[in-house]
Amino acid sequence: MNVENLIKMANDIGTFFEAMPNREQATRDVATHIRKFWEPRMQKSLIAYLGTHGDETLKPIVRDALREIHPA
Amino acid sequence: MDTTHHPHDVDYGTPASVSEKLVTLEIDGFEVTVPEGTSLMRAAVEAGTQIPKLCATDSLEPFGSCRLCLVEIEGRRGFPASCTTPAEAGMKVRTQSPKLADLRRGVMELYISDHPLDCLTCSANGDCELQDMAGTVGLRDVRYGYEGLNHLKDQADTSNPYFTYDPSKCIVCNRCVRACEETQGTFALTISGRGFESRVSAGESQAFMDSECVSCGACVDACPTATLMEKTVIEAGQPDHSVLTTCAYCGVGCGFKADMKGSEVVRMTPWKDGKANEGHACIKGRFAWGYTTHKDRILKPMIRSKITDPWQEVSWETAIGHAASEFRRIQNKFGVDSIGGITSSRCTNEETYLVQKLVRASFGNNNVDTCARVCHSPTGYGLGQTYGTSAGTQTFKSIEKADVILVIGANPTDAHPVFGSRMKKRLREGARLIIVDPRKIELVSAPHIKADYHLQLRPGTNVAIVNALAHVIVTEGLLDQQFIDERCDKEAFNYWRDFVASDNNSPEALESMTGVPAHLVREAARLYATAGNGAIYYGLGVTEHSQGSTAVIGIANLAMATGNIGREGVGVNPLRGQNNVQGSCDMGSFPHEYPGYRHVSDDATRTLFEKDWGVSLRKEPGLRIPNMFEAAMDGTFKGLYCQGEDIVQSDPNTQHVIAAMEAMECIVVQDLFLNETAKYAHVFLPGSSFLEKDGTFTNAERRISRVRKVMAPKAGLADWEATVALSNALGYPMHYKDPSEIMAEIARLTPTFSGVTYEKLDQLGSVQWPCNDAMPEGTPLMHIDHFVRGKGRFLITQYVPTHEKVTPKFPLLLTTGRILSQYNVGAQTRRTENVQFHEEDRLDIHPQDAAERGIQEDDWVGITSRAGETVLRARVTERMQPGVVYTTFHFPESGANVITTDNSDWATNCPEYKVTAVQVVKVKHTSEWQENFHEFNETQLRLLKEKVVTTEAAGTR
Ligand code: SF4
Ligand code: SF4
Ligand code: SF4
Ligand code: FES
């Protein structure tokens, strides 16, 4: 999967939930959204990429959410 | 209800009165009780007698001009017209007397003296009210000869491709003029001249095709004579029977009578009792059905191993067997998840249900998606999150009670014409109107309609406008606090209130982004919040954005904040694009959910389906359409079953889609025509048109209506039968003998459909889901006492500008849309006379932008974006605002989607069709893409023409 695109999509999801007042809840919502709507190979591609390239390209809220989905 | 009809239904003469007060009177000695306000003419029909009439018909307000419907009323002088005289309690009415008979004969005599007596060869023979009335009144001779002045030599206007106007047969009853005004709302017709000179005229004595006429056919329906007549009836003669069915074009879902001669359609007449359309139709549904018998239809299955090979015509068994073995081969090599399916909003509920079942149960994954992905998936997400259900809240009829109508990113008079007419009617009655749209759409200013506010925003700023409207409502004390307290989640509301109240969301702060003067936003917000019942209608101009889902949520917030939910005249109403968008979503076509919007990870639901289907099912979501393309490019997605959808033409960034197509090993396309996607396919399964199969469609108001087979499938199998065959060949047996059995399964497994059966649909005509034990006749209005999710949930909607930005290189914003006469990718409407109304896609550009570029009307212009380039002819128009250009996407060679980009809605991946940064320049040649397209297209048509006909195929139908 085109990782650049996945990063953009993940960050856009992060942007929506970032505006929510409760940060913990918002992080959970990002995780839930990705879990509910992303086919496993999309999730895996993104996580694999981050494992090798680091995750600076991601918004912090998305980073936290991914850790929730796949604890390192 | 009897679902086959004699072509003529009862005509009550005048519309029904809605009064609850009843009056009792006597007609010809029989007592009859009717609602107050009912005409004597209608009361007579209720009492079982028909009063002669010519200028009255029950779809129109009475006019009182022909004087044929005279009656006598005891104790009153003279002979009042029964169509214009309301029934009163205690009246004693006589509809027949020697004097009345005399008067009526006199009237008829005058009409007939200026009417050709060619009844035997007239196209209306057998369906002419003038002829009927001459018989009814007992006209035996005409004292005035034809020597005097008459119109018998007047020339017919045949300019409209679908109907003729023959003035020599006109009786100047005015029904057509009133139909155009009252039913359609176009005001294209007038009676010009006076007295004997008077004649119906389109526009200012123009030919119909040159006038404002939009070819809806309402006047043709209303005309009592052969003056306005369908050309198909002139050619084929009057129908012998009719079958009720549902239009296969837009999401209004109009009910029709297919008027048949044997198994040939001679006319489509909108069904008077159809609740979506109440007897009205548009050019597409009424007239544009010729594609169903077009010579381009492919009627035999075909296969080929490479897309550079000629097609090979084979039997159904061979084609299906080949598809099945290819799919299994691919899965063995690349894994279970390497194939998937796409359902279409143009197919029935039963068909889409089967395709998703095939994918989940037989392919063994969740890689199924529908074209709703690219139109209304944000509606599903947004309304689901806020209200708990993924559908519009009202009936269409509800608009009759709306006091202020807010139209956002929708163009109903083009895209949902019959609903557009219903909306216009309400607006003429005085409802107020706010339009949020980058373009000056027709509703901004139409005959007898003028929008109170047109918030002409920059494309891509819907969320900013919605937030600004909310800001005004919150900060100016316009909230419906009682509704919020009773019906909505308090904490979520408080967060939202504080968010929208912040200065960043004020109209003033957002003005520089939206381009809309702050005071207009303020006034519009006040109007929506205070003018009584506020109803919101929105379309793809809301959803097809990178913040599409956010905008839908914002709209849902607005309605909750003002208490505009849960009764007639209010609500949030997505106007669905294609006929069965609602249905295909309901039927579990999305990769993450089962029928009835239940997530695949929900154990209870999954177990239910596993038990019923006898297989184990996956709990992870599958690929969405754009993800399928990405996975194809990646080499992990290799096979696709695509039913009734043309992704190559309709999906954004064409060159990317094509690269994905070329990366796959087996593409199976099921369609009527060799569409753009089929040119990349390896297996072609001939589809069946809506006239050739049984099933149901669900329209934008959640209304489930029957589609009925009026002729046998031309290719031998209806679409659902082909899916069944494919599943059987894949080793997952399906045993349905009839679509009603598929509906029974849907009902068994889907709580919102549990009460739906074909018998009930036959009985009631249609039902709106939820239809279950609690609501056995369906649910017209949603969220009456409480939201489906319990408490309504406000959500914060931060405005985030799209990634697609204008730059010096791409200084203009392109937005796309559709027009009345063409439908979506145009595969159907391009194969009808509708091309006379729209023969090419144009680029609309504001005079100022055109002048800066030296562009004049009709010039060829190149449009370049970050994704690609195409060339169209320019139309210079003030409907556009400076800085914004617009085009439609009905013709493949236009390449509108060569320019659109991969940007998509954050929540659903719905493409951002509505915002693309472009440059426009005057050019002399078509674009390189268009040249390649042309060449590829020629090759593919040649490969079709050179198809090899195998002996086994020659032996099958
Ligand atoms: S076809 Fe429709 S728009 Fe045209 S004149 Fe008749 S009623 Fe009016
Ligand atoms: S065209 Fe038909 S409907 Fe119109 S005035 Fe003439 S007879 Fe009546
Ligand atoms: S409004 Fe839509 S459903 Fe009705 S006739 Fe036209 S295309 Fe068909
Ligand atoms: S029908 Fe009443 S006046 Fe014509």
Report the pLDDT averaged over residues B456-460: 91
pLDDT given for residue B646 in this prediction: 87
Residue B911 per-residue DSSP state: B
Is-contact B770 B389, C-beta < 8 A? no
Res. B111: pLDDT tops 60: yes
Picking from A21, A35, A39, the nearest residue to B627 by CB comes out as: A39
Res. B356: pLDDT tops 90: yes
CA–CA separation, B624 vs B342, rounded Å? 9
pLDDT tier at B899, thresholds 50, 70, 90: confident
Res. B143: pLDDT tops 50: yes
pLDDT tier at B6, thresholds 50, 70, 90: very low
Chain B residues in contact with A1 by the CB 8 A cut-off are: 627, 630-631, 634
CB contact under 8 A, B796 and A42: no
Residue B845 per-residue DSSP state: E
pLDDT given for residue B7 in this prediction: 45
Q: Quote the minimal CA–CA distance from B548 to chain A in Å.
A: 12
CB contact under 8 A, B599 and A15: no
CA–CA separation, B921 vs A31, rounded Å? 45
pLDDT tier at B147, thresholds 50, 70, 90: low
Chain A residues in contact with B622 by the CB 8 A cut-off are: 39
Q: Which residues sit with their C-beta closer than 6 Å to ligand 3?
A: B 247, 249-250, 252-254, 277, 281-282, 284-285, 417-418
Most confident range (mean pLDDT) of B336-340, B777-781, B810-814 is B336-340
Ligand 1 atom closest to the Cα of residue B218 is 7
pLDDT given for residue B123 in this prediction: 87
Q: What is the pLDDT of residues B401-421, one digit of tens each?
A: 999 999 999 999 988 999 999
CA–CA separation, B677 vs B694, rounded Å? 26
CA–CA separation, B155 vs B308, rounded Å? 54
Q: Whose CA is nearest to atom 2 of ligand 2?
A: B223
Instruction: List Cβ neighbours of B876 (8 Å cut-off, separation of 6 or more).
Output: B845, B846, B847, B850, B855, B856, B857
Provide DSSP, B720-741: HHHHHHHHHHTT-----SSHHH
CB contact under 8 A, A37 and B908: yes
Provide DSSP, B376-419: THHHHHHHHHHTSSSS-SS-GGGGGG-SEEEEES--HHHHSHHH
CB contact under 8 A, A1 and B621: no
Q: Quote the minimal CA–CA distance from A26 to chain B in Å.
A: 11
pLDDT tier at B148, thresholds 50, 70, 90: low
Q: How many CB pairs under 8 A join A and B?
A: 65
Contact with chain A for residue B511, Cβ under 8 A: no
Distance of CA B46 to the CA centre of its chain: 34
Give the range of the structural domain holding residue A35, as residue numbers without chain letter. Answer: 3-69
CA–CA separation, B281 vs B162, rounded Å? 14
Report the pLDDT averaged over residues B337-355: 92
Q: What is the pLDDT of residues B151-190, one digit of tens each?
A: 777 788 899 999 999 988 898 999 999 999 999 999 999 9
B932, B934, B803: which is closest to B865 by C-alpha?
B803
Q: Quote the minimal CA–CA distance from A40 to chain B in Å.
A: 7
CA of B380 to the centre of ligand 2 (A): 46
Res. B702: pLDDT tops 60: yes
CA–CA separation, B858 vs B105, rounded Å? 57
The pTM assigned to this predicted structure is 0.92
Instruction: Tell me which chain B residue has its CA closest to the CA of residue A9.
Output: B906
pLDDT tier at B583, thresholds 50, 70, 90: confident
CB contact under 8 A, A1 and B499: no
Instruction: List Cβ neighbours of B542 (8 Å cut-off, separation of 6 or more).
Output: B378, B408, B409, B410, B462, B548, B551, B552, B555
Report the pLDDT averaged over residues B708-723: 92
Listed by number, the residues of chain B in 648-677 with a beta carbon closer than 8 Å to a beta carbon of chain A are none
Q: What is the pLDDT of residues B183-205, one digit of tens each?
A: 999 999 998 887 777 888 888 78
Chain B residues in contact with A9 by the CB 8 A cut-off are: 904, 906, 909
pLDDT tier at B8, thresholds 50, 70, 90: low
pLDDT tier at B145, thresholds 50, 70, 90: low
Burial class for B950, CB neighbours closer than 10 Å (0-12, 13-18, 19+): middle
The percent of residues above 70 in pLDDT, for chain B, comes to 97
Q: What is the pLDDT of residues B215-242, one digit of tens each?
A: 999 999 999 999 999 999 999 899 999 9
Contact with chain B for residue A15, Cβ under 8 A: yes
Res. B384: pLDDT tops 70: yes
B208, B536, B250: which is closest to B414 by C-alpha?
B250
CA–CA separation, B915 vs B754, rounded Å? 41
CB contact under 8 A, B798 and A16: yes
Chain B residues in contact with A69 by the CB 8 A cut-off are: none
The domain total for chain A is 1
Instruction: Tell me which chain B residue has its CA closest to the CA of residue A16.
Output: B798
Report the pLDDT averaged over residues B131-139: 85
Picking from B550, B592, B631, the nearest residue to A36 by CB comes out as: B592
Q: What is the pLDDT of residues B630-644, one digit of tens each?
A: 999 999 999 999 998
Q: Quote the minimal CA–CA distance from B296 to chain A in Å.
A: 38
CA of B288 to the centre of ligand 2 (A): 23
CB contact under 8 A, B621 and A38: yes
Instruction: Tell me which chain B residue has its CA closest to the CA of residue A12.
Output: B906
Q: Which helix (H) or strand (E) holds B898?
A: helix B896-899
Q: Where are the alpha helices (DSSP H) in B126-205?
A: 129-137, 175-178
pLDDT tier at B19, thresholds 50, 70, 90: very high
Q: What is the pLDDT of residues B900-937, one digit of tens each?
A: 887 888 888 888 888 889 999 999 888 888 888 889 88
Orientation angle between helical segments B462-475 and B507-514, nearest 10 degrees: 170
Strands B860-864 and B842-845: unpaired
**Ligand number, closest to the Cα atom of B705:** 3
Peptide bond preceding B770 in cis form (omega within 30 of 0): yes
B508-517 residues labelled b (16+ CB within 10 A) or e (exposed): ebbbebbbbe
Q: Which of B45, B66, B110, B111 to mutate to test the pocket of ligand 4 (most atoms within 8 A of CB)?
A: B66
Distance of CA B382 to the CA centre of its chain: 22
Contact with chain B for residue A69, Cβ under 8 A: no
CA–CA separation, B89 vs B91, rounded Å? 6
Ligand 3 atom closest to the Cα of residue B277 is 4
Orientation angle between helical segments B462-475 and B518-530, nearest 10 degrees: 60
Ligand 4 atom closest to the Cα of residue B63 is 3
Q: Whose CA is nearest to atom 7 of ligand 1?
A: B180
CA–CA separation, B823 vs B417, rounded Å? 12
Hey, of B620, B797, B803, which one would you mutate to test binding to chain A, going by the most A CBs within 10 A of its CB?
A: B620
Give me the phi and psi of B951, to 5 degrees please: -65, -40
Q: Whose CA is nearest to atom 2 of ligand 1?
A: B216
Q: Where are the alpha helices (DSSP H) in B478-622?
A: 481-487, 490-501, 507-514, 518-530, 540-543, 548-561, 581-586, 603-613
